[in-house]
Amino acid sequence: MNQTPDRGDAYDAGQAPDVKDAQLDQYRVHDEDAVLTTNQGVPVDDDDNTLRAGERGPSLLEDFHFREKITHFDHERIPERVVHARGAGAYGYFEPYAAMGDVTAARFLAEPVRRTPVFVRFSTVAGSRGSADTVRDVRGFAVKFYTEDGNFDLVGNNMPVFFIQDGVKFPDFVHAVKPEPDNEIPQAASAHDTLWDFVRNQTETTHMMMWLMSDRAIPRSYRMMQGFGVHTFRLVAADGTATFVKFHWRPKLGVHSLVWDEAQKIAGQDPDFNRRDLWEAIANGDFPEWELGFQMVPADREHDFDFDLLDATKIIPEELVPVTPVGRMVLNRNPDNFFAETEQVAFHTGHVVPGIDFTNDPLLQARLFSYLDTQLIRLGGPNFAQLPVNRPLAPVHNNQRDGHHQTAIPQGRGSYSPNSLAGGCPYIAGAGDGYEHLQEHVHGAAVKRRSPSFADHFTQAALFWRSVSDWERDHIVEAFRFELGKCATVEIRRDVVAQLARVDGGLAARVAEGLGLAPPSASGDTPEPAPSPALAIDRLRGDGGIGTRKIAVLAADGVDGTGLTAVVEALTGQGAVCEVVAPHQGPLETDGAAVNALRSTLTMGSPLYDAVLVADGPRAADSLSGDGAAVEFVTEAWRHGKAVGALGAGARLLAAAGVPEDGAGVVTGAGDTDAFGAAFAAAVAAHRHWDR
């Protein structure tokens, strides 16, 4: 049966995203100048009162509009995802840099002119749909490619490894990290006994816990985080040659994170912080972009490493196998409706296209079953692929029929294969035209055992610790202290610290000190791998610009509007987003150009911004210096390592906040607004100034 229109020449013309948009147009509902109707199209004459027997009489069951309306409302919520429940999504496109036909038969990677539409969903893992965006957690990074050969789902995370090696442990891990079952506490948090009890009893989690305790777990923005396919997959060329591959997404804006103090405050000030950031950036035309890279390992090098390529708790260090850039992805359109698209989008690791195949990674093998099973229950049946956001651009013809929410209208008598009544249709693809699984020789006894090559749980955890910068290490130590400090069971704290001693003795001693524990004895087998500089956030800062960085401009009545306007225009000219924040919203009294306060210190805090700029004007500066909220605004920005600037008399607020004018990332000046703007932009571009 054909569920979708033919594609025509859209891919060759480079207009594929528009094709997906046009396909969705038939499902869009526009209510402007429309009469209210029932679901059957019957006009409704009263939507405020149920049908009654008399004005004060009982309601009547025959009021079909009431029954339909309330029944639909009662069923508006579908089961939320068990994991990755809270998310945000967007449409865009992917285009390769060069032809990749030498390593894969995937046609969407065949030539640079080929532009493939995508839908991307970012998410947190542990929390419910109502949890905050900035919790310490893994972030999902799932991409649906609407290719000419069907949909390909690259379902990954913002960290390159995972907690477990075998999918049979996934229910145990999720049960442990979710709110504890006796009291349903805590929400969207890993800082509790059951998770860390699982960690102390399952040492394969050690590497992933290092990533989770790092700043990678609290990204500044979805637009500023990496993505990884986690598993080792295979690329398969047209001649059948297979190459192992790991998928990497690298953001054009660089990798940037929050600090834990501001992450917690943002959860209260704006729990939709990351979701709002993505939506507003796209709405403003600041389309986020990522580069897709491949780490490729020829089949004959599978066993050349001191770890197993099939182990999802391991990375391939980039010093051993560099990441080859292969294309770019741009997100340029927000969804029309959150539920219909972002909530109903269904990803599945088993959605692959010719040229991409699986490996025997036991965690990946489990996901191949679990994801389909999840979508069947979450979306109400086997026809979830017919939902507009999931519907492929490639034509669909098969003998599948009926089921919940069937929206296609199959024609003809033949719904089986082989058949004669339908002329044998739909027929089998010819050789080389259909999906062909890689032919791999498999031999072995049926056993429930892990390969010995999966046994090392600490070397790569030590590799991560030795590779990150000093300020990242400080944050990791603080994270372990916070998380384990929330555990009520002392034995859990002690055992996890002892486990950390097998990663690095210094790390374990620093964590133990913060928990009031004696430093554990040296394990005797602590690995000392050579660092991998590619793992440090300092190496991933992006292009060094200030595009889309949000700058709070603190001002008050009496502000020097002319000088402030000149600096703001210079910053916005480089792509920054400046918002005037004052004790009250609306127009401010100025000497010169008009200034309008979009926000107030009552509703906004410095954690919601990337930098703070204090305006000039003696009266304004004195007013702000006596305002506790304004003083705290600057104090927090300084404490969180952000750029802080002050024009002229604005430096008085810095003094009131205890911020030294000669501190790293602090810019002051008067008169020469061009020089000030350039210096402040450079400070903002650095993102954070940890050398304070």
Cα 574-579-581 angle, rounded to 5 deg: 145
Q: Under 8 Å CB-to-CB from 60, ≥6 apart: which residues?
A: 50, 51, 52, 53
Asked if 34 and 138 count as a contact pair (C-beta separation under 8 A), the reply is no
Question: What is 124-184 written as a DSSP string?
Answer: ESSS-TTS-TTSSS-EEEEEEEEETTEEEEEEEESSSS-S-SSGGGHHHHHHHHSPBTTTT
Q: Which residue has the tokens 């504890």?
A: 180
Query: Can you tell me the distance from the alpha carbon of 468 to that of 532, in angstroms, rounded to the nearest whole number?
Result: 8
Q: Which residues pair with 444 in a beta bridge?
A: none
Query: Can you tell me the distance from the alpha carbon of 392 to that of 4, in angstroms, rounded to the nearest whole number?
Result: 7
* Cβ neighbours around 170 below 10 Å, total: 18
Q: Which of 579, 581, 578, 577 is nearest to 555 (CA)?
A: 581
The catalytically annotated residue of 65, 151, 157, 383 is 157
Burial of 513 per CB tally in 10 Å (0-12, 13-18, 19+): middle
| Local structure of residue 58 (DSSP, 8 states) | -
Cα 141-144-150 angle, rounded to 5 deg: 155
The catalytically annotated residue of 65, 84, 207, 687 is 84
Q: Is 334 a catalytic residue?
A: no
Q: For the chain, what's the residue count?
A: 692
Q: Is 475 a catalytic residue?
A: no
Query: Can you tell me the distance from the alpha carbon of 102 to that of 123, in angstroms, rounded to the nearest whole number?
Result: 34
Sequence letter at residue 44:
V
Asked if 101 and 110 count as a contact pair (C-beta separation under 8 A), the reply is yes
Phi, psi for 652 (deg, rounded to 5)? -60, -35
Asked if 429 and 497 count as a contact pair (C-beta separation under 8 A), the reply is no
Q: Which residues pair with 552 in a beta bridge?
A: 579, 612
Cα 474-479-482 angle, rounded to 5 deg: 125
State both tokens at 296: 């490729």
Cα 127 to chain centroid distance, Å, stands at 14
* Cβ neighbours around 7 below 10 Å, total: 18
Strand order in the sheet with 550-554: 599-600, 577-582, 550-554, 611-614, 643-647, 666-669
What pairing do the DSSP bridges indicate for beta strands 595-597 and 586-588? Answer: antiparallel
Q: Which whole-number Å values give the CA distances from 143 to 73, 90, 332, 440, in the listed order? A: 31, 10, 14, 28
- Would you name the residues annotated as active-site residues? 84, 157
